[in-house]
Amino acid sequence: MFGPVEILGRLKDHYQISFYSLTGGIIKNSHGISIITENLSEIKNGAGIFLIPGGFGTTKEVSNILLIAKIKEISELSQFVFTVCTGSALLARTGLLDDKRATSNKKAFAWVTTQGPKVNWIKKARWIVDDKFYTSAGVSAGMDMTIGFLNDIHGIEFARKVAFDIEYDWKENKEDDNFHEQR
What's the rounded Cα separation, in Å, for the pair 30 and 53?
Answer: 12
The pLDDT tens digits for 7-63 are: 999 898 999 999 999 999 999 887 888 999 999 999 999 999 999 999 888 899 999
Order across the sheet with 34-39: list the strands. 20-21, 34-39, 25-28
- CA–CA distance, 165 with 142 (Å, rounded to integer): 17
Domains (range + CATH), the chain: 44-165 (3.40.50.880)
Q: Note the pLDDT of residue 182.
A: 67
147 closest CA partner among 132, 123, 127, 131: 127
Alpha helices in the chain (DSSP H): 2-9, 58-61, 65-77, 87-93, 109-114, 139-154, 156-165
Average pLDDT, integer, range 129-134: 98
Mean pLDDT, all residues of the chain: 93
- Confidence tier at 173 by pLDDT (50, 70, 90): confident
pLDDT in tens, 70-91: 999 999 999 999 999 999 999 9
- Whether pLDDT at 183 is above 70: no
pTM for this prediction: 0.93
Q: Does the pLDDT at position 126 exceed 80?
A: yes
Share of the chain above pLDDT 70, in %: 99
